Amino acid sequence: MPDNILARIPLFATVPPAELNHLAEALRPCRILAGTVLFYEGESGDHFYVVLAGLVEVVKSINTADERLLVVRGPGDFVGEMSLLNRDGRRTASVRVSQTADLLEMRRADFDQLLHRYPLMAYEMVRAMSNRLTESQNRIIAELHDKNTQLQTAYDALQAAQTQIIAAETLERELKLAHAIQMGLLPQTRPAAPGYSFGAQIVPARAVGGDLFDFVPLSPLTIGLVVGDVADKGMPAAIFMAQALALLRAEAGQGAAPAEVLRCVNRHLLYMNQSELFVTALYGVLDLVTGRLDYARAGHEVPLVIEAGGEPLRLPRGRGQPLAIFDDVELDEGTLLLPPGATLLLFSDGVTDARAPAGDMFGPTRLLEALAAEAAVADGAQALCDHLLARVVDFQSSAAQHDDITLLAVQRTA
């Protein structure tokens, strides 16, 4: 199979040409006749298909009285990816070939390896799924509009209300799926290093959000710490977040100094960004032997450090600009030492900007006091993040959460 075929498929747009050669050898081409069912809803799956030619139908409740055609996919599209993203590996719909199709089959192992080497491909998949979500929403809205115009009796009004309920439930399920996909992009486990404890918490203000965090293993003795905050909410911020996270991981993995990593990410975002969004970020490299953290700050919140005796370590605040705005971005570079017994907290402004029902903000002073109190009693960095989040939630009480909340903690125990 020529690798130039793969180069024309949007899903593999970020994969380098050299990798396409290996990918072409790993994918299994097949021709499927019209009328063939590729897989059924509810089955366990470990592969998905890329359509080269022909048409396939995505169907719910196939071969029943309730059968419903969701969408038709053609050349350049992919189907069956949900079984690789769902935890139980179950197919969420059936797929039937409606016009004899040439397909490429990719197995879970090849997919996972490709995502590990080229995380930007996850952005392409999230973007495709976001477009599908938008298409679904527009289709539902159009259907509701058509039905509403046909209402002439109370029965018709009842039917329209029922349709709206179904549409809302469908949208809710799709948003839950988008949330699961976004959370799946973040670290699923915490680093394990002698003498250290790591923890994190993230709560989007909506189903999906623009905050991010990461632990980047750089060597047996160093680890990268990342926190970021896209200046928006909802689906646009989620897509930009996935893009920024993939770039940060890729550049951090090159082992450059924190400031150089952020400058490289800034260049990529300026080149790729058509949405006029921007992201604040902090990236630091922690030396697990000395406890030294070298960091660079792109408009993000200054870290908080509580020493073993409960005293805060005051860090200087230099000028730092967000990424994806300026060609020559100005960064705040700093170094701090995390002595035994000390606690480091990185966070997004959704923590300090959280508001109580009366309107007052949680604020930096209350956060510092909460950190000092919880650091003295929490059993590890993850428990510390859990307790801090609980304090913020209690403070908000019945007030709405207006911004994403992210906490990343490191405790040096020895």
- The model's pLDDT over 230-266, given as tens digits with 9 standing for 90+, comes to 987 777 888 888 889 999 999 999 999 999 999 999 9
Long-range contacts of 247-254 (CB under 8 A, 24+ apart): 247/120, 248/212, 248/214, 248/216, 248/281, 248/283, 249/119, 249/214, 249/216, 250/119, 250/120, 252/214, 252/216, 252/218, 252/224, 252/226, 252/283, 253/216, 253/218
* Domain end residue (candidates: 118, 137, 167): 118
Residues 191, 187: Cα–Cα separation, whole Å:
9
Residues 69-118: tens digit of each pLDDT: 988 988 888 888 777 666 677 888 899 999 999 998 888 777 777 777 76
- Regarding whether 177 and 237 lie in a shared domain, the answer is no
Q: Which two tokens stand for residue 338?
A: 């995390």
- Regarding whether 271 and 163 lie in a shared domain, the answer is no
Helix (H) or strand (E) holding 59: strand 47-60
The chain-wide mean pLDDT, for the chain, equals 85
- Regarding whether 10 and 52 lie in a shared domain, the answer is yes
Residues 394, 388: Cα–Cα separation, whole Å:
10
Other residues' Cβ atoms within 10 Å of the Cβ of residue 102:
16
- Regarding whether 310 and 355 lie in a shared domain, the answer is yes
Count structural domains, the chain. 3
Q: Residue 383 belongs to what domain range?
A: 187-412
- Regarding whether 300 and 262 lie in a shared domain, the answer is yes
- Regarding whether 387 and 242 lie in a shared domain, the answer is yes
Strand extents, DSSP E, 207-356: 211-219, 222-230, 279-287, 292-298, 304-306, 312-313, 332-337, 343-347
- The domain that holds 39 is classified in CATH as 2.60.120.10
- Regarding whether 401 and 270 lie in a shared domain, the answer is yes
Q: Is 44 exposed, middle or buried (CB count within 10 Å of its CB: 0-12, 13-18, 19+)?
A: exposed
- Regarding whether 80 and 39 lie in a shared domain, the answer is yes
Residue 9 banded pLDDT, cuts 50, 70, 90? confident
Q: What share of the chain is helix, strand, coil (3-state, %, to 5)?
A: 40, 30, 35
Question: Which residue is listed with tokens 């059936």?
Answer: 94
- Regarding whether 292 and 149 lie in a shared domain, the answer is no
- Regarding whether 360 and 280 lie in a shared domain, the answer is yes
- Regarding whether 273 and 175 lie in a shared domain, the answer is no
- Regarding whether 93 and 110 lie in a shared domain, the answer is yes
pLDDT at 55 over 70: yes
- The domain that holds 331 is classified in CATH as 3.60.40.10
* Domain end residue (candidates: 118, 137, 168): 118
pLDDT at 410 over 90: yes
